[in-house]
Structure 1
Amino acid sequence: MKTLHINSSSIVKTFGQLKEQLSASYKKCFKEHCLTFDNEIGYGEVRGVLLKNNISYLEFNVTFNEDIALNINTNISKAVNIAYCSKGKIAHQFTKKNKKTTLEPFQIGFMSNITSSKNTIYFKKETNVIVTLITAYELTASVKKNTVHQELFETFVKNKKENNVFISSHNLKIAEKIEQVTKIKEDGVMRSLLIEGIVHMVLALEIQQYKRDLKNSKQPTGSLTLREMQEIKEISTYIKNYPERATTIEDLCKKTGVTSSKLQEGFKLMHNTTVNDFIRTERVKKSEELIKNSDLNISQIVYSVGFSSRSYFCKIFKQKYNCTPTEYKSRIKLAATA
């Protein structure tokens, strides 16, 4: 097993240390740091940004050629670490005296440092792992009250006397939110603001999940197995990329091997909507992109995104954008010539 070390709470020093140990290339775009590597250690990418209120966001999309232990020592004993696996799994341990805790895909791990500042994350070799790690450090005088940061500390640190870890039940919605970070196309200040907004939404969902689990309410994943959740996540991505190809629920069931009832259950959990409504929404989104960025006329766009009725398309487009497709196209042209 190879051991990597992070010996700082500073995002700059964190990436400096990982750069050397991974023999990675480094770049910084505004406030966001990025490492990429492809060598004898493995391959992948590590991204990170320091947000307001002493909150850091790290995302690992990595495949290592040998088992890896990532030792993190921030030298700050009061901190809340929240890990979420979108793909693969990791294990966590405060120190060698503590037992390891495994984090499966779509689970949230809440690791609170109370008496020490050490955490170790374990990666299995030859396994693609996508994991995000959000860390909130101890409150300072500059942090305003009624923030997500304060709620984190009141929930996971206040009145706690020792390090503790809590593994939640599965949550599909968070995977979708985290994917939005990787799809942000804007640069600079706009990108930084969008990342911060999404991270705060993720934190809110994670806290909500923690409180729901504590109340012992019905498990939010219902009867879905891990494989079924992975299939639903993959078919959601497929629909987003090719909404015109998603014809019927029966076809999607054949593609995934998931029953129609499980498919509907998964979409309700992940997207809070039905399969058909999700397909319809993605088709309208793609039509809006085509209106802006192609020379196709409205009728051509209607059929290219999978609709068979122009009048129906115009109706639901207006519901979403508060204007007809033709009016929208005219506004785009007017804005381009202004």
Structure 2
Amino acid sequence: MQIVHNQLSYFNNVLGGSISSFQGDRILQYDNDKGTGRIQTVSLGSGISYTEYDMNLNQDFNFDLKLDENRSLYFVYCLEGNFRFTKGNDSQKVEALQTVVVGGSNDTINIKLRGASKSNLSIIKVTQDGSAIDNNNHQELYDQLFATFLNEDGEPHIGTFNLKIKEQLLQIRAITQVGLVRKLLIEGIVNFTLALEILHCKQDMENDGQVSSMLTKKELLRIEEAVNAIKRKPEYPYTVTDLSKEYGLSPTKLQEGFKVMEGTTVTNFIRNERLILAEELIQTSDMNISEIVYSIGFTSRSYFSKIFRNKFNCTPKAYLMNIRNVSLSA
């Protein structure tokens, strides 16, 4: 982690701004003639570090990632914008929704960010240091990561477009908890993201580098817009036909996109988001069950009770009574 902190100091010397600490992390913020931005290093154990880069640069900017004497892997995911990476004589462009994975030891990787544009990256570094591995799960994860990504020739791997990884990384930025809970949540998301990277790499190899979902980057971004619209207003009477027209996708591609991103159909996703809203209303509002049913877009109370029980293992009425009893006893 010290190397990551040293890198942040380098950014501070070049870009200016100020470094602060929060929950053991270090945060650089700058707003000057070089641009505006925020870089945060998150302190994790077991040889894993995580850094977020959210930068608006006025000019092109280069920085290096160091591969330690111990074998290391860098997972550089581009959430927004694009960048060019160089290792030795190999230089390639990485676009939004792609990960480049580069590994080795005693080597340097150069990242070039474009000026006059927004660059939003998340970088996970994994160092194979046996003394840092604290349990068998971490050991198994390390073994799979290095077996999958660290080739004898040291060539980097650039993944096809993957929106699911972006969704996971954004969850880290949305964490509001502090202390141990925050650290455990971040560790869990980072480990899950690394597992997704392994699965995605295997899919890429099976499909010979072609996008397995048959969706372009633009189409995936439209799916993301549709998902976010439903999350913001799940009670709206959506249909697959209307969503297809709204986001310029065929019904087949719309369904395929939801399966790629959310692992379910459009209809099931809408239903689940409505149930999440129903639970929130039961906990926070004074509405009765019938009022909640109609406010979230359902027309049948019996149907709502059935799917609510399937998800929460109790009836809506029992859930409501339990919430109110807890409030009265508090």
Fold in common (TM above 0.5): yes
Q: Does 1:134 align with 2:124?
A: yes
Q: Does 1:163 align with 2:154?
A: yes
* 1:177 equivalent in structure 2: 168
SS in structure 1 at match of 2:53? strand
Q: Which of 300, 304, 307 is the equivalent residue of 1:316?
A: 307
Alpha-carbon distance between aligned partners in 2 of 1:295 and 1:15, rounded to the nearest angstrom:
49
Alpha-carbon distance between aligned partners in 1 of 2:248 and 2:305, rounded to the nearest angstrom:
34
Quickly say closer, same or farther: Cα 1:76–1:64, change in 2 above 3 A: farther
Q: Which of 120, 144, 147 is the equivalent residue of 1:151?
A: 144
* 1:299 equivalent in structure 2: 290
Q: Percent identity?
A: 35
- Residue 100 of structure 1: CA displacement? 1.5
Q: Does 1:203 align with 2:191?
A: no
* 1:229 equivalent in structure 2: 220
Residue pairs, 1:114-133, within 5 angstroms: 114=105, 116-133=106-123
- Residue 299 of structure 1: CA displacement? 2.6
Quickly say closer, same or farther: Cα 1:137–1:41, change in 2 above 3 A: same
Quickly say closer, same or farther: Cα 1:38–1:249, change in 2 above 3 A: farther
* 2:242 equivalent in structure 1: 251
Q: CA RMSD in A?
A: 2.3
- Residue 220 of structure 1: CA displacement? 4.6
Q: Which of 35, 57, 60 is the equivalent residue of 2:53?
A: 60
- Residue 217 of structure 1: CA displacement? 6.1
User: In terms of mean alpha carbon deviation, does 238-247 or 78-87 score higher?
Assistant: 238-247
Q: Which of 75, 78, 82 is the equivalent residue of 2:75?
A: 82
Any stretches of 5+ residues in structure 1 without a counterpart? 1-7
Quickly say closer, same or farther: Cα 1:221–1:215, change in 2 above 3 A: closer
Quickly say closer, same or farther: Cα 1:25–1:218, change in 2 above 3 A: closer
Alpha-carbon distance between aligned partners in 1 of 2:40 and 2:246, rounded to the nearest angstrom:
33
Q: Give 2:226's aligned amino acid.
A: I
Divergent runs of 4+, >6 A: none
Q: Give 2:191's aligned amino acid.
A: H
* 2:3 equivalent in structure 1: 10
Alpha-carbon distance between aligned partners in 2 of 1:295 and 1:23, rounded to the nearest angstrom:
51
Residue pairs, 1:5-44, within 5 angstroms: 9-44=2-37
SS in structure 1 at match of 2:126? strand
* 1:103 equivalent in structure 2: 94
* 2:40 equivalent in structure 1: 47
SS in structure 1 at match of 2:90? coil
Say whether the 8 Å CA contact 2:5–2:41 is kept in structure 1. Answer: no
Residues 13-51 of structure 1, C-alpha deviations (whole Å, 9 max, x = no match): 333333343333444332333333333222232222132
Alpha-carbon distance between aligned partners in 2 of 1:60 and 1:106, rounded to the nearest angstrom:
15
Q: Which of 266, 272, 280 is the equivalent residue of 2:257?
A: 266
SS in structure 1 at match of 2:40? strand
Say whether the 8 Å CA contact 1:15–1:35 is kept in structure 2. Answer: yes
Q: How many residues align?
A: 326
SS in structure 2 at match of 1:277? helix
User: In terms of mean alpha carbon deviation, does 31-40 or 176-185 score higher?
Assistant: 31-40
SS in structure 2 at match of 1:141? helix
User: In terms of mean alpha carbon deviation, does 55-64 or 297-306 score higher?
Assistant: 297-306
